């Protein structure tokens, strides 16, 4: 699957939400459908279509357990997206490093202030 195609699949908010649910652990199609229907107000067949798109494009796997269908995240395509994003990570890593420095400075200043009060 090409990276552009992966973003096409992930561009839909319903499919992203389904992946978030599956990232918490394997879920039955009924459980996924109930959450998605409540949050997005779409029909059961529409939820099934989104699950099918995720499955057909490798983002989710499904297995039968009796009469239930259990879905789970398949990490392969997400790893491809992560590799593609790697070249951009430096843009937010620098900001996160700066934030960590500021947070440490603030903690240090509070500690000094607290030590001064106790003395």
Average pLDDT on 2-24 reads 90
The CATH fold of domain 6-74: Arc Repressor Mutant, subunit A (1.10.10)
Lowest mean pLDDT among 12-16, 27-31, 103-107: 103-107
Please tell me whether the overall predicted TM-score, pTM, comes out greater than 0.75 for this model: no
Lowest mean pLDDT among 2-6, 9-13, 40-44, 50-54: 2-6
State residue 56's pLDDT score.
94
Residue 114 in tokens: 């607290």
State residue 45's pLDDT score.
97
HEC letters along the chain = CCHHHHHHHHCCHHHHHHHHHHHCCCEEHHHHHHHHHHHHCCCHHHHHHHHHHHHHCCCEEEEEECCEEEEEECHHHHHHHHHHHHHHHHHHHHHHHHHHHHHHHHHHHHHHHHHHHHC
Position 4 pLDDT exceeds 60: no
């Amino acid at each position: 699957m090409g990276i552009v195609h992966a973003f096409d699949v992930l561009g839909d908010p319903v499919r992203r939400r389904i992946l978030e649910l599956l990232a918490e652990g394997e879920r039955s199609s009924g459980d996924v459908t109930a959450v998605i229907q409540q949050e997005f107000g779409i029909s059961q067949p529409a939820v099934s279509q989104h699950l099918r798109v995720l499955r057909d494009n490798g983002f989710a796997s499904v297995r039968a357990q009796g009469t239930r269908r259990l879905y789970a995240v398949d990490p392969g395509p997400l790893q491809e997206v992560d590799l593609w994003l790697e070249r951009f990570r430096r843009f937010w890593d620098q900001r996160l490093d700066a934030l960590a420095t500021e947070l440490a400075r603030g903690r240090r200043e509070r500690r000094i202030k607290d030590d001064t009060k106790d003395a």
